[in-house]
Structure 1
Amino acid sequence: MRALLLASLAITHVTLINPGDSAPRSDVTVVVRDGRIAEIGNAAPADAQIVDGRGKFLIPGLWDMHVHLSWVTSSALPVLIANGVTTVRDMGSKLSEIDEWRARIASGILVGPRILRVGPILNGKSFNKYQMVPGNPDATRGAARTLEFVGVDFIKIHRRFPRDSYFALLDEAKQLGIDVVGHIPMTVTPEEASDAGQVTIEHTETLFEGTFSAALKGRLSDAIRHFREAEADKLFARFVKNHTVVDPTIGAWNAVVDPNAKNDPRLRYVATSLKKVPTPPTSDSEMREMLDTLAEFRQVVRQMHRDGVTLVTGTDIAGTRIPGFTLHDELANFVECGLTPLEALRAATLTPAIVTHRDRNLGTIEVGKIADLVLLDANPLDDIHNTERIAAVIVSGQLFDRAALDALLRQAEELAARN
């Protein structure tokens, strides 16, 4: 499905919601030309294709900061666009495959989001085909130089990465000018990871996987509650001081505790071979502990937000397998954890652009920036679920109206049924 590529496009009489602003702007006309936002004012050029924005709301394109596209195949790409997700950060896939998709998207052969990627994950013990095990610190420095040479956007580490190699990596990455993201290794404390300069920490549970494990002799939920009450504020103050960003991926746990996850109608957009829904606990006590743990994770996210930790939205779609739709679930999770709808939108637009050093071109609706936009039929500041009510998506100036978005979903469903 090809979008309409127009020389000039004007969204007229729309309410503009800019996550960098404190209040919406009503009755605005946004003019897009040559893939960028050319004007924000009151008038449309005479030669522009008009999109009537009366009663509608315009937000920047959404970001998913934690995907694994090789796991979910290229059929996920149109589903992401249909959900207004215009940029993703791939956190571990086959680099050659991702780069091929990026080239095909750029040329218009494929419909899909802008993809930032880490390439293979660095780990101390490989457990999937998208990982590297460099070994000692010297080899780790060499791996970092190799990844920087091939042009990855970030370097990701996983939880089994050795302690001495971890600090060697952070030092080498700093010299190379490339950010390190990922899990906190099991032999490194969250404080040490923050002080060393790890830019983003992925998954709430990574705070408890390693050096806190000695405290986890009883119920995990009790240990997390103790951490929140006794230690969390001090740790989160350090995150704030060091500008450490957390991508909590709250929704990745929801499927584990949802007994109806296998009946989610959105699974029709997932390849048949990939429909692996986590099996819920079988005993009442296990389910109760899992629910209590998930509730504690949410309280940790609430506390991080209260303490001023920078949060971004990510779904870890390798786990849920459902692309696009789960980003809207995560926005709702953020609001349930105490963020306002505007703060949640900021975590899915402006903040990811800043964290990835792309805010000069992305993240807000401003003149000169790339025209990645989502037109909504209802106000997301009234109800965050209104981000799901998408009238149109604009990607680098290319317009996908509702009919085109529905066609993308049909295409994805057909692809999923064949794979």
Structure 2
Amino acid sequence: MKYLKFFIKAIVGLVIALGITVLITFWLDSNQTDYLDLNPSDLDNETSVLIKNVHVIPMTKDTVLRNKSVLVKNGKIVRIDSIIPEIDVKVIDGNGKYLSPGLIDVHVHVWDKQELGLYLANGVTAVRNAWGMPFHLRFKKQINNNELLGPLFITTTPKLTGAKNASFDQLGIKDTKHAHELIHKYHEDGYDLIKTYAGMPEDIFDVVIEESEKNDMPIVAHPSFEVPYTYHFKKAIQSIEHTEDIVQNALAYKLDSVALQKVVNYYVEAKMAHTPTLTIYQNIIDIIEQKDAIKTIGGGNYMNPTLVSLGSMDSYNRWTSEQFYKPETLEQIKKQHQFHLYIVKQLHQAGVQLLCGTDAGIVFNMPGYAIHEELAYYLEAGLTPYEALKTATVNPSTEIDLFHDLGTIENGKVANLILSDKNPLEDISTLSKPNAVFVNGRYLQNHQLNQLEEKAKNRKTGLVTLFRFIESLL
């Protein structure tokens, strides 16, 4: 009995200590991120502006509307004209710079609040988070309530797979009954979309699609190897992710241009959107070529430390080891990357809607910065600057209902905007260094963007991220 009492006291003491540790950790995190806190009562004053003397890139077509003024009221664009009389709102002189829609990254993995600032610092004013956890629902609610500064935020469920493929980062669905219950629960919780993953078997997938349509939760599909690639061309699926999986799944690892044409035809017939995420595959090349340098200059400085430890270093060890034992690895990966560019060109020429997504947040793939690398690859694939920019503006707004009010500069659209020094239709890289960013009409000047970037550098968020992981597992 004496030992039992001692054991109980020890357990209670450990629980109390853990509880105190958790509270202190989240309190410290809150203090470290208070620069992103907003006051909802200031909403009207902060989200109404008149931007004058700008050249507008409307993205409704490949053109520039020169010497215009744009009036924003309560976060919405209400007038675009040559001259708009100054009214009782903040007036911003664009000084002949270029105003274009904010960028949309449709495939990201967000791990902490600092990353939200990183996206804004890079002109990314909307994201589709593709690996949902409970804390993402809190982020979304705070952003929607104008309590937290960040891009427009929508999120999928956790990554769903079959029971035999379950792991700490993939939730295994046991059977069809479990699938019904799980999707219903996620809908009630407030997740916007369903994320299916590589090990999803057909019987479970059929139920997920049924529940997707019933609950109006479109599917973001990482192609499953448990079904044919052609299975994914379903109405319930919003987009198919990862060009590399066209090679590895649909083409069985063959760089076969003839077989590719059949896949392209399926995309066209199904009117299916595709998210290339070329940057994440290029990161394998960067790991092999840069070696230890990638941990700092390659993105480590702006990565969540827990994800570097749990995921990025695993990828680093895998690919550096493989290159050591198989020296031909690098050349093979480069050839596949070049074929990815060819696939993107073929999809684009066939009229497939391409959605700019980066897989940022994992494998040294820097949040915010990655989108500019991704867009550069689309240019390399043969798209024009206007066509490439559409993948991160217009296309997401037409393919993803929750982004319907974004993507162009027109009356009634949300004022998510980038002010840049040069014309992005001539030099798309100018968007990587915004002069200013507007999110929901809120004006973020250059020095504020620099602060958002600096605050996210070498951040200490490892413990709070670990607790968020544990919460999602529980």
Structure 2 length as normaliser, TM-score?
0.80
Structure 1 residues 124-203: aligned runs within 5 Å: 124=162, 125-126=164-165, 128-195=167-234, 197-203=236-242
In structure 2, the residue matched to 1:378 is 422
Gapped regions of structure 2 (runs ≥ 5): 1-34, 464-474
> 2:47·2:443 contact (CA, 8 Å) conserved in 1?
no
**Corresponding position: 1:270 with 2:308:** no
- Distance in 2 between residues matched to 1:35 and 1:176, nearest whole Å: 29
- Aligned-residue offset at 1:46: 3.4
Determine helix, strand or coil for the equivalent of 2:374. Answer: helix
Residue 13, structure 1, aligned to residue 13, structure 2: no
Cα distance change of structure 1 residues 7 and 61 upon mapping to structure 2, 3 Å threshold:
closer
Counterpart position of 1:239: 267
Provide the residue aligned with 2:395 in structure 1: 351
RMSD: 2.3
Residue in structure 2 matched with residue 217 of structure 1 by the alignment: none
Which residue of structure 1 aligns with residue 282 of structure 2? 254
Post-superposition Cα deviations, 1:170-224, rounded to whole Å, max 9, x if no partner, equal 23322332211121211322222114642211111222444654xxxxxx4xx12
Decide whether the 8 Å contact of 1:301 with 1:337 is kept in 2: yes
Residue among 74, 81, 89 paired with 1:34: 74
Asked if the contact 1:240/1:310 (under 8 Å) is kept, the reply is: no
TM-score with structure 1 setting the length: 0.90
Structural mapping, 1:13-412, within 5 Å? 13-42=53-82, 43-70=84-111, 73-94=112-133, 96-124=134-162, 125-126=164-165, 128-195=167-234, 197-210=236-249, 212-213=251-252, 220=253, 223-224=254-255, 226=256, 228=257, 230-258=258-286, 259-260=289-290, 261-264=294-297, 266-275=299-308, 276=312, 278=316, 279-280=319-320, 281-282=323-324, 283-317=326-360, 318-412=362-456
Partner secondary structure for residue 313 of structure 1? coil
Which one-letter code corresponds to 1:368 in the other structure?
G
C-alpha distance in 2 between matches for 1:381 and 1:202: 26
Could you tell me whether the CA contact under 8 Å between 2:67 and 2:96 is conserved in 1?
A: no
The unaligned stretches of length 5 or more in structure 1 are 214-219
1:52, distance to aligned residue in structure 2 (A): 1.7
What is the CA–CA distance in structure 2 between the aligned matches of 1:101 and 1:196, rounded to whole Å? 29
Higher alpha-carbon deviation: 372-381 or 99-108: 99-108
Q: Structure 1 residue 301: deviation in Å?
A: 1.3
Write the deviation string for residues 16-37 of structure 1: whole angstroms up to 9, x where unpaired.
1122223111111011111111
Instruction: List per-residue Cα deviations over 1:42-99 (Å, max 9, x = no partner).
Output: 22423332222233111111111111113xx2221110111111111011131x2012
2:409 and 2:231 mapped to 1: Cα distance?
Answer: 37
- The CA distance in 2 between the partners of 1:233 and 1:210, in whole Å, is 15
Task: Give the aligned residue type for 2:260.
Answer: A
- What secondary structure sits across from 1:415 in the alignment? coil
Indicate conservation of the 8 Å contact 2:47/2:440, yes or no. Answer: no
Contact 2:137 2:191 in 1 (8 A): no
Cα deviations by residue, 1:126-150 (Å, 9 ceiling, x for unpaired): 5553432222233223322222222
- Cα 1:382–1:263 shift into 2, 3 Å: same
SS in 2 for 1:86: strand
- How many residue pairs match? The answer is 405
1:48/1:242 Cα in 2 relative to 1: closer, same or farther (>3 Å)? same
Q: CA deviation at 1:273?
A: 4.2
Alpha-carbon displacement from aligned partner over 1:339-378 (angstroms, at most 9, x marks no partner): 1111111110121122211354222111122111111111
Retained in 2: the 8 A contact 1:199–1:243? Answer: no
CA 209–171 in structure 1, closer or farther in 2 if over 3 Å, else same? farther
The Cα shift of 1:121 comes to 1.5
Answer yes or no: is the 8 Å Cα contact 1:66–1:91 preserved in 2.
Answer: yes
Q: Distance in 2 between matches of 1:379 and 1:416?
A: 37
Q: Which amino acid aligns with 2:95?
A: R
- Counterpart CA distance in 1 for 2:280 and 2:250 is 23
SS in 2 for 1:381: coil
Distance 1:168 1:209, change over 3 A: farther
Separation of aligned partners in 1, 2:403 and 2:263? 27
Asked if the contact 2:299/2:364 (under 8 Å) is kept, the reply is: no
Change (3 A) 1:105 1:172: closer
Identity across matched positions, percent: 27
More helix by share: 2
2:459 matched residue in structure 1: 415
